[in-house]
Structure 1
Amino acid sequence: MTIQTAFTKIISSLEPIHGQREAANIAHLLMEHVTGMSRMDRIVYKDKGLEPAQEMQLEEGLQALLAHQPIQYVTGSSWFYGMELNVNGHVLIPRPETEELVEWIVDDVRTGRQAGHKLLDIGTGSGAIPVALKKELSAAEVWAVDVSEGALETAKANAVKQGFDVHFELMNILDTKATASLPSFDIIVSNPPYICEQEQAGMQEHVVAYEPSIALFVPDNDALLFYREIGLLGKQKLHTGGALYFEINEAFGEETMQLLREQGYKDVVLKKDIFGKDRMIKAVI
C-alpha cells in the first residue's frame, strides 16, 4: 500500500461519518502519525510503500476512528497554545476556547491589571493550562491539582516535555481538609466539570464514549457545584485583589456570576468565546 493509497482509503472510510473535509483533516493527522512524514513530504513521496508495521498501525488507527475514537487519542497528542501535548483517556482533549482563557490571564498579568506571581490551576487534566501559563509567564510560580492520578501523570509528562517547571499535587478540590494545605495565590483558574448529566443525549458520541466523564459532568441538581466550592476556596486562598478565572457552561453564565457576587466577589466579568458563546468569567476578591 502506498502513501497516497493509504490516504485515500482513510478519507473514503471516514467520509460517511465526518464529511469529506473533516475526513481529509483526520487522514492527514493519522498519516503523519503513522509515517512520521510532513504533509509536503507525503506529497513528494506519495508512491512510497508503507512498511508492514506501518500498515498494521494504520489499520488499527482507522478501526479506532470508525468506532468514533477521537484522532487525538489515536495519535496520543493534541496541540494547545503552540505546544504538542500528550493526551489519553485520562484527560480531556484541550479545546480552542480554553486557549482564550489562558490568553485572558496572560494579558491581564502582562498589562498589570492582575498580579500573577503565584497561580493555581484546579482540575488540570492534561496540564494544558498551567504549562501554557508557565510558557507565557516564566517568572510566575505555577501550581496545578487534579483528583485523577492518571491525569496528573499525563500533566507532569507534558510539563517535562515542554521544559517548564510546574508544581503538581494529587487533590480532591471538594475535600476541604486537603485544600487547607494549599498556600495563597494571586490567581486561581479552573475549567471544571460543568456539563449537566441530562445534556449527554445531545453530545457527540466520541466525547461521551471516550473522554473522561469525571472531567465533564456534574449532577443535574447541582450544576454549579465546582464554581461554588472553588469560589469558597478562593476566599480563603486568594490574596486581596486576587482573581478567579473560570471556563463555564454557556447555559449558566448569569447564574455563575450571581453566585460569585453572593460570595463577595467584585468586578465579575463574563466573556464570550470565539464562537460567540458565554464561556469565561473573571471575579476579583
Structure 2
Amino acid sequence: MNLQEANIFLKTALADLYDSRELTTISDWVLEKITSLPRIDRLMQRDQQLSEIQERRMKVCLDQLLANKPVQYVLEEAHFYGLIFYVDENVLIPRPETEELVEWILQDTNNQAYSVLDIGTGSGCIPISLKSKNNKLILAGCDISKGALSVARRNADVNRVDVDLFYCDITDQNQSANLPVYDIIVSNPPYIPEEGKKAMSPNVLRYEPHQALFTPDNDPYLFYRTIAMLGRNKLGKKGKLYFEIHEEGSVGVINILEEQGYTNIRLRNDLFNRPRMIRAEK
C-alpha cells in the first residue's frame, strides 16, 4: 500500500463516523505520525510504499478510531498554541477556544513579569503555552488528578519550560488556604451539568475524563464560585481572574463575580462569536 492508497483507505474506513473535513485532518495526522513525513512530502511522494511496520501501525490506529477513540488519544498528542502536547485519558484534549484564552492573557501581560496559577491544569497546556511565549511569567498549575499532573509534568519537560505543578483540591479550604498569592488566576473548570451527557458524542463520553467535564446538576457553577471566592484571598491587589466558560453560562458567572466584589468584568467572544471567556479584576 502506498501513501495515496493509505490516505484513501483511512478516509473510506472512517467515512461513517466523520465529515469530509475531519476525515482529511485525521488521515493527515495518522499518516504523518506513522511516517514522520509532513503533508507536502507525502503529496510529492504519494507512490511511496508503506513499510510493513507502518502499515501495521496504521491499522492499529484505525481500529481505535473505529471504536470512537479521539485521534489525539490514539496518537497520544495534541497541537496547541504552536506546541505539541502528550495527551492520554487522564486529561481533556486541549481545545482551540482555550488558545484564545491564552492569547488574551499574553496580550494583557505584555511580556511583563507576573505570577500565574492555572487551576485544573490538566495537560498543562495553559501554563506551558504562557511560559513558552513569555519567559518572565512565573507559572504554576494545580489539579485534583495525579494522573493529569503526571501528564502535565511530562509536557513541561518536553517543551522545556519551568512550571510548578502540584496537587490541590480547591474545594478543600484546608488545602487552598496554603496557596500563595498570585497576580493572575486562570481556570477552564468543569462546567457541563451531568444532564448534558445526553447530548454529547460517544468519543467524548467514553474516553475523556468526566471529572474534568461535569458538574452537579444542582450546582453547575460550583467551581466558578469556589475559584472566585478563593481569588478574594489569593489574588494580589488589582489581581485578575480569567475563566473559560460555557457559551450559555456567561450570566451566571458574571453574577458570581459581581457578588464576590470583582470589578472591570469583561466578557469576550471566541472566533465563532460565542461568549466563551471572562476577565475580572479584584
Q: Mind listing any 5+ residue stretches in structure 2 that lack a counterpart?
A: none
Moved over 4 A (4+): none
The two structures have a TM-score, normalised by structure 2, of 0.97
Q: Mind listing any 5+ residue stretches in structure 1 that lack a counterpart?
A: none
Matching residue of 1:13: 13
**Contact (CA 8 Å) 2:113, 2:136: kept in 1 or not?**
no
Matching residue of 2:219: 222
**Contact (CA 8 Å) 1:32, 1:38: kept in 2 or not?**
yes
Cα deviation, 1:195-219, whole Å, max 9, x if unaligned, reads 1111111112211111111100001
**Contact (CA 8 Å) 1:268, 1:282: kept in 2 or not?**
yes
Q: Does 1:270 align with 2:245?
A: no
Q: Does 1:141 align with 2:138?
A: yes
Cα deviation, 1:98-156, whole Å, max 9, x if unaligned, reads 01111111111118xxx851110000001000001111221111110011111111111
SS of match in other structure, 1:155: helix
d(CA) in 1 for partners of 2:95 and 2:146? 22
d(CA) in 2 for partners of 1:246 and 1:162? 24
Which of 142, 146, 151 pairs up with 2:148? 151
**Contact (CA 8 Å) 1:248, 1:279: kept in 2 or not?**
yes
Q: Kindly state the Cα deviation for residue 171 of structure 1 after the two structures are TM-superposed.
A: 1.3
d(CA) in 2 for partners of 1:221 and 1:272? 27
Q: Does 1:31 align with 2:31?
A: yes
d(CA) in 2 for partners of 1:40 and 1:231? 47
Letter in 1 for 2:151: T
Letter in 1 for 2:31: M
Q: Does 1:279 align with 2:276?
A: yes
**Contact (CA 8 Å) 1:121, 1:143: kept in 2 or not?**
yes
d(CA) in 1 for partners of 2:105 and 2:24? 35
Matching residue of 2:46: 46
Matching residue of 1:90: 90
**Contact (CA 8 Å) 2:192, 2:214: kept in 1 or not?**
yes
Q: Kindly state the Cα deviation for residue 30 of structure 1 after the two structures are TM-superposed.
A: 0.5
d(CA) in 2 for partners of 1:265 and 1:19? 43
Cα deviation, 1:28-48, whole Å, max 9, x if unaligned, reads 110111111111222233222
The two structures have a TM-score, normalised by structure 1, of 0.96
Kindly report the root-mean-square deviation, in angstroms, between the aligned alpha carbons of the 2 structures.
1.3
More helix by share: 1
Alignment of 1:84-233 (within 5 A): 84-110=84-110, 117-233=114-230
d(CA) in 1 for partners of 2:81 and 2:13? 31
Q: How many residues align?
A: 282
